[in-house]
Structure 1
Amino acid sequence: MLVKEELNRYNRQMILPELGPAGQEKLKAAKVLVIGAGGLGCPVLQYLAAAGIGRIGIVDDDVVALSNLHRQILYNHTDIGQPKAKTAAAKLQLLNPHVGLSAYNERLSADNAANICQDYDLVIDCSDNFTTRYLVNDTCVTLGKTLIFGSILQFEGQVAVFNQQGSTNYRDLYPAPPTENINCIEGGVIGILPGIIGLYMANEALKLICGIGETLSGKLMTVNALNNAVLVFKITQEKQAETTKTEANIEPIKELDKATLDQWLSESPDEVFLIDVRESYEHEDDNIGGINLPLYELTNLLTAIPKNKKVVCYCQTGQRSKMAVQLLNGVYEGEVYSLKDGI
């Protein structure tokens, strides 16, 4: 039951017909677990607390560092060296005293993941490493929990909703971890990007809890802050590939491995056309040949792609190249392949 102060606090969102008092009651009854209180976790936590989520759990074993402050603006210089989970909980309590907060000052592991996650209705993955992402995903699948996923690197971010009533999960998008984990420490990140992506994640949470709008369940949204490109891709479950293709008329994504590509290039190089779909600075740093047509500009540069050759798109890990094939399948008539697992 909402008290008088809460009615006043949440008035501006409660007057929305899609939400209303009933929606606000759902937010108050909700229990949301946020994994990671860093770049993505900070905006997610701030806006969930401000929106009136009844109980929020925060999992993070890290401490605030000076290099965090350009993007993790929940903290300030006086917090340096302090535990993120406990510090975030204290600040969020000041923001909204009506929210219950639980700080888990520990790293999520195979030993504690199920025990922590089972007490929450919704899990939001704001972690920054593949080990935790796969652990969170697999735990949510086992427990039947809906998972909101987000990731950021340099100028690009991704958002998706996984395992909503048995929908696609993280492994349908990325079946196995890459051999290298390139994170913000090595690759860098523009400070504003986690704010953009974190707000999208918080928005998905509010929609899921209130049962309103269209969510990113079974979809991956990518946002490029450098050129303002926003793309949404459909994620197909392997076991449902044929059904999905028939119902939605989506062409299957053709992949080939590096050995096959090398054979093609050795036997008939003139029949193969390579496209690096990464950004220009990535292409300049390292490539395997061909031309550079960045993913977000691809459909505007179709005239650069010949129709009488086998087109092979490649990137670092094989994920952007699959997106490129999905884009080209709808507008390009020739054969298009993605280099499996990238370069």
Structure 2
Amino acid sequence: MSRYARQTAVLGANAQPRLADARVLVIGAGGLAAPGLPYLVGAGVGHIRLVDADVVSLSNLHRQTLFRETDLGQPKTEVAGRRLADLNSDVRIEAVSTRMDPSNIAAFCEDVDLVLDCADSFAVSYIASDHCLQTGQPLISASVVGSDGYVGGFCGGKPGLRAVFPDLPDRLGSCDSDGVLGPSVGVIGSLQADMALAVLVGDRAPLGQLVTYDARSLRFGGFRFDSAPDPAPNPAFIAPCDIAAEDFLVDLRGSDEGGPPLPDAIRSTAAAFGAGGPAPTHHMRVVLACRSGLRAWQAAERLSQHWQGDIKLLALGD
């Protein structure tokens, strides 16, 4: 008990067996996971399934403190798994180097007690929230852009992400376009781990709560959303393998953008989906695809104003 004595003094004598039996899915092995994972492993969470398809790059190192220069080009989950194994041999780290999407999230969430969304991708966050809302699994989701961030406890008997963020802004900030401060990511990632540990030992207070942080003013804020209305997942995200031959498939990416090819898709822009724009026949399902999902979301909003059929979104990634 010497390893966990100071932790048990705070959480109580019954907390450690619960943590040892706990199974957590962590989506993303980047900046948010960098502080959160060592704290969960150090706390003795018994089984951690870590999912990320990315490799370590030089631009990660100012905030993704699990990695070193010697790790460049290696899969993040494998590097993180090795480093975390050295921290606590009581914990099993299941490293999965693949991309999470609607086709595999059910398998990844199977038999876990809590989902930690560290992907910092709005598409992944919605996918995880829609699934956890159905299964009743708690979801601790966070995001940081620039020096500002938030962390919230969703699902698990409380509303999902769509209750707090039912609509997207015209433009979403990103680490690539807006930059990000490493310490701000560290603050939010640590809060994620704090909320996750509380839920795992039986404290449900973090669920239904959003905490915000502004590093410039060094201020925290937040609110509770326990009874907020939970919109239906419409439009929902699908995976590339879910595309059907009869779908009205639209690729909103520029011709110079990378990512998985969609050879059977028509090319268009989100702005084109107004009156007189691309229009499917009534029996078709529309699938709108782009890199992050933002342009697909915007096109869906424009299309739904004059067409009431089924619309799905596809975030293809890089």
Aligned with residue 12 of structure 1, among 6, 30, 45: 6
Deviation at 1:175, TM superposition (A): 1.4
Contact residue 38 and residue 126 of structure 1 kept, 8 A: yes
* Structure 1 consecutive aligned stretches of length 4 or more whose deviation exceeds 4 Å: none
Matched residue SS, 2:116: strand
Which letter maps to 1:84? K
Matched residue SS, 1:215: coil
Matched residue SS, 1:62: coil
The Cα offsets for residues 84-136 of structure 1, whole Å up to 9 and x where unpaired, read as 01111111001111101101100001111111112211001011221111111
Paired residue for 2:101? 109
The Cα offsets for residues 294-322 of structure 1, whole Å up to 9 and x where unpaired, read as xxxxxxxxxxxxxxxxxxxxxxxxxxxxx
Aligned with residue 147 of structure 2, among 140, 145, 155: 155
Matched residue SS, 1:95: coil
Paired residue for 1:22? 14
The Cα offsets for residues 258-289 of structure 1, whole Å up to 9 and x where unpaired, read as xxxxxxxxxxxxxxxxxxxxxxxxxxxxxxxx
| Cα distance in 2 for residues equivalent to 1:86 and 1:215 | 33
* Structure 1: gaps (5+ residues): 1-6, 241-343
Question: Is 2:198 the partner of 1:217?
Answer: no
Contact residue 130 and residue 177 of structure 1 kept, 8 A: no
| Cα distance in 1 for residues equivalent to 2:21 and 2:166 | 34
Aligned with residue 81 of structure 2, among 70, 74, 89: 89
Paired residue for 2:54? 62
Deviation at 1:178, TM superposition (A): 4.1
The Cα offsets for residues 16-56 of structure 1, whole Å up to 9 and x where unpaired, read as 3xx23310111101001110000101111111001100000
Aligned with residue 69 of structure 2, among 77, 80, 87: 77
What TM-score do the two structures reach when normalised by structure 2? 0.69
Matched residue SS, 2:64: coil
Contact residue 163 and residue 230 of structure 2 kept, 8 A: no
More helix by share: 1
Matched residue SS, 1:192: helix
Deviation at 1:238, TM superposition (A): 2.1
What does 1:256-275 correspond to in 2, within 5 Å?
none
What TM-score do the two structures reach when normalised by structure 1? 0.65
Paired residue for 1:232? 222
The Cα offsets for residues 143-193 of structure 1, whole Å up to 9 and x where unpaired, read as 22110011101111101100122x111000111444533211111111101
Aligned with residue 34 of structure 2, among 36, 42, 56: 42
Contact residue 198 and residue 206 of structure 2 kept, 8 A: no
Contact residue 118 and residue 143 of structure 1 kept, 8 A: no
Paired residue for 2:173? 182
Matched residue SS, 2:142: strand
Contact residue 137 and residue 156 of structure 2 kept, 8 A: yes
Deviation at 1:219, TM superposition (A): 2.0
**Which structure exhibits the higher relative contact order, with contacts defined as CA atoms closer than 8 Å and separated by 6 or more residues?**
2
Paired residue for 1:267? none
Question: Is 2:185 the partner of 1:194?
Answer: yes
Matched residue SS, 2:139: strand
Matched residue SS, 1:81: coil
Which letter maps to 1:209? L
Change in 2 beyond 3 A, CA 1:180/1:239 = closer
Over the aligned positions, Cα root-mean-square deviation in angstroms equals: 1.6
| Cα distance in 2 for residues equivalent to 1:215 and 1:127 | 23
| Cα distance in 2 for residues equivalent to 1:14 and 1:238 | 37
| Cα distance in 2 for residues equivalent to 1:239 and 1:100 | 35
Contact residue 51 and residue 77 of structure 2 kept, 8 A: yes
